[in-house]
Structure 1
Amino acid sequence: MNDEPVQPHRWYSTNLVGVPSRVLAGTAFNAHPVPLSIAGTRETHPGLFGLLARCEHLSDASEVFVHYLDIAFGLRAPAAHEAAALDPAERRRWRSSWRKLLQGWGMDSGGPAGAVLKGWVESRFGLVPTHHRQPLQRFPSPGWIAYLEEKTFSRLHNNNIHQQLDLLYEFCQWALQRLGVPGVAAAPATHLRLWRGSTRCDEQLVAGSLKARHCTVRLNNLVSFSVSADDAGCFGDWVFEARVPACKVLVFPGLLPGQVLQGEQEVLALGGDYEVVARYA
């Protein structure tokens, strides 16, 4: 019996970035990336990118981004006099936000927030997750059903959350090309040298061997990297060093104000197959 149709790493769908998903997930793309843009996002919000064009420092650009999304998606808490004029049901309404999702990811990438983020990657880039609390292999399975339920969890998947994440990605790409990553990569950035700790090496290995140090691993459709090997070593027995295309990065340290994924100097990026250098932590 041929079971290839149920292998998740072969489930690539259409996407909104103009590069076939199979190509986007491969090592050849990582070696020779091209800029990516989510169709229609910048065109729909010209005001935001017009304001960003006036910013010379990342801190100023971050404030512009947060303020714009607060207004566009109603994320700002209403003042006392504004709240008094609202209908009681409207005052109780829960508005999902990009910030709450990132905070949820930082606490547990296998939770509902992580599922919504992975679902957004599916929708925009056509990359299917390979892990959510457990390996996502054959479909249907209890693991897949749990993931599908959580990625549409109404408390987090509302308030145009995919559009918020589209703007977050485009803002990150704007910053990488205009300002770079302080202490990590200069602008315009093409790759970031990053590290990832892992305890699931056997299920991730695609080619090569850990003993030979050079190998290819298949990472989830959205993964966290660290900006230093020492930080990555806190998260697994093995540490992978990778050259991550800047066009695959969603969040990097210092991009956003406040304590959002700052504790471990975390970079959030699209996954796929990566050629890495492995060492035992």
Structure 2
Amino acid sequence: MRRGIGHSTNLVGRPSEWLESCAFNEAPVPLHIWGVCEMNRSLFSMLERAGDLAEAGEAFFCYMMAMFGIDPEQRDAASCGKRRYRSSFLRLITGWSFDSNGPEGAVLKGWVESRFGVCPSFHKEIIEQVSSPAWAAYVDEKMSSHFHDNAIWVQLDLLFEFCQWAIQRFAFPGETHLTLFRGVNDFDEHWIVERTDKHAAVIRLNNLVSFSSDRGVADCFGDMILTARVPVSKILFFNGLLPSYLLKGEREYLAIGGEFRVSVDYV
């Protein structure tokens, strides 16, 4: 049986092997990246004064723009035009929305690898071992200087912690899981760990994976619909988190992957 590549260490203080397992996904605990909240107390103090998610998102946006010198134009166009912007989490999420296997996707997957110790299982092709050409191509893209000139992984740390704060405070208070959907045409990018019957399986999803909260939207992306209960503690970004257009069209959620027990329905 295929087993994913992984690290023994991470920045969330939980065993990486557990983080990517069905055991965690079915009985999750909160996750926090070491030191992020403690080093940004002014941000979270400011967020506590927000009256709703929209106000909190605006405050977070302003903090990130000031802290990392992100151009105001990126608020609505993360990488459009010929002007070279400083690297930002906005550019990465916009790039992901167009192609999760592009350079921006590699940087995001690299951040998951660094912080959670969960390595990608797919980037343009299946990644089975660190000695493979697929792994080398992924590493080359994830370390591109084009995206690492502005503490980009620190930006993503802050985005994750803000997302977790917003989930508990405004978006899904008291919830441990969300039921989300993913449309696929085949299992080429997904390793089948266990197939119990035609409509149920345990599947290893990539270390960062997109879901939709709208089953009808997921229908547009494949002939099979995977339905999963995704821990809220694994969500990095969701539509409505920030006052921008990012990911809103597909009601998309970005979540840390691993092995999920899913139901499989055929369109």
TM-score for the superposition, normalised by structure 1: 0.87
Match of 1:18 among 13, 16, 38: 13
SS of equivalent to 1:207:
strand
How does 1:1-281 map onto structure 2 within 5 Å?
Answer: 9-77=4-72, 94-180=85-171, 186-201=172-187, 203-209=190-196, 211=198, 213-281=199-267
Q: Is there any run of 5+ residues in structure 1 with no aligned partner, and where? A: 79-91, 181-185
**Residue pair 1:208, 1:215 contacting (<8 A) in 2 also:** yes
User: Quick one: distance in 1 between partners of 2:51 and 2:252?
Assistant: 24
SS of equivalent to 2:147:
coil
**Residue pair 2:71, 2:85 contacting (<8 A) in 1 also:** no
Flag the structure with larger Rg: 1
User: Quick one: distance in 1 between partners of 2:141 and 2:3?
Assistant: 18
**Equivalent residue pairs, number:** 257
**Residue pair 2:5, 2:118 contacting (<8 A) in 1 also:** no
**Deviation at residue 198 of structure 1 after TM alignment:** 1.7
**Deviation at residue 94 of structure 1 after TM alignment:** 4.2
SS of equivalent to 2:265:
strand
**Deviation at residue 139 of structure 1 after TM alignment:** 3.0
SS of equivalent to 2:168:
helix
Return the letter of the residue paired with 2:181.
W
**Deviation at residue 138 of structure 1 after TM alignment:** 3.1
Counting aligned pairs with the same residue, the percent is 49
User: Quick one: distance in 2 between partners of 1:113 and 1:54?
Assistant: 33
**Deviation at residue 199 of structure 1 after TM alignment:** 2.6
**Superposed CA offset, 1:28-52 (max 9, x none):** 1111111010000000100100000
**Residue pair 1:17, 1:125 contacting (<8 A) in 2 also:** yes
**Residue pair 1:8, 1:129 contacting (<8 A) in 2 also:** no
Q: What stretches of structure 1 move > 4 A for 4+ residues in a row?
A: none
Q: Is there any run of 5+ residues in structure 2 with no aligned partner, and where? A: 74-82
User: Quick one: distance in 2 between partners of 1:134 and 1:209?
Assistant: 26
TM-score for the superposition, normalised by structure 2: 0.92
**Deviation at residue 75 of structure 1 after TM alignment:** 0.8
